[in-house]
Chains A and B, each alone.
Chain A
Amino acid sequence: MNTVTKILNIIDIFFPPSIAYAHCDVPCGIYDPKTAQIAAATVLVMTQKLVELKLPAEGADDMEFTKHHNNLVRMIETKEVHAQKCKEELLILWTDFFKKDHLSEFPNMHETFWNAAKLCSKCKQNVDLDAAKALVSSVESIASIFAKIKAAK
């Protein structure tokens, strides 16, 4: 062990390093539906904001319209990004965490994931409050299945 490594090892005792992973979804075994839940909740909030967003009043100046467009684009962008993130997180859980054995206990698992992934797309394509609420509910169902499997381990 060289001197630099010795010094770093001593520093680590007093200031433990944070953990960085080399894999996000492969053999590390770290799975959690929280990211999908947060993403789905974000989609719902952005959809609500879009529904409630008012056009500038008649006669408003250009800057008011610019601000409105800026808000509009940011909300749509955030909704788009989080719906996609939600879909990706769900697919990781579906394909990597859940195993064939779980189907006997949760026979509608495939349908639940399928519907949730479809809802992600629907939320991206539309400003649909019902779809966003259904997405949150669907992801909650998946999180519930996940929790039951984790608890049984």
Chain B
Amino acid sequence: MLPAYVPGDRVVTLNWSPITVGDVVVFVDGRTKLVKRVADYKNKVFLLKGDNVAQSTTVYEVSRASIVGKVIYKY
């Protein structure tokens, strides 16, 4: 998620606010939590991508239930 987020960054997420395109979210993928940005939202499915396109090539299609929360603060 470079350059917006670097390894070691900590984030606060909120689970009850609306999620829109451009938001950064934490979501569950299998047994791992991942941080990605919402690229699109169609038919109740969020399309999530990394900012660092050179290294992050996987596109995730996830439901709202898989999203832990929207990132509202980074420190």
Contacts and interface: CB of A to CB of B under 8 A. Distances in A.
Given A23-B50, A26-B57, A18 B33 contact: yes
Interface string A11-23: 0100001111111
A21 B56 contact: no
B73 interface: yes
Interface residues of B, number: 25
Interface of A: 4-5, 8-9, 12, 17-27, 35
26 contacts: A5-B75, A8-B10, A9-B75, A17-B10, A20-B26, A20-B34, A21-B32, A21-B34, A21-B35, A22-B2, A22-B5, A22-B7, A22-B35, A22-B50, A22-B52, A22-B56, A23-B50, A23-B55, A24-B29, A24-B32, A24-B58, A25-B58, A26-B56, A26-B57, A27-B55, A35-B30
Interface of B: 1-2, 5, 7, 10-12, 26, 29-36, 50, 52, 55-58, 68, 73, 75
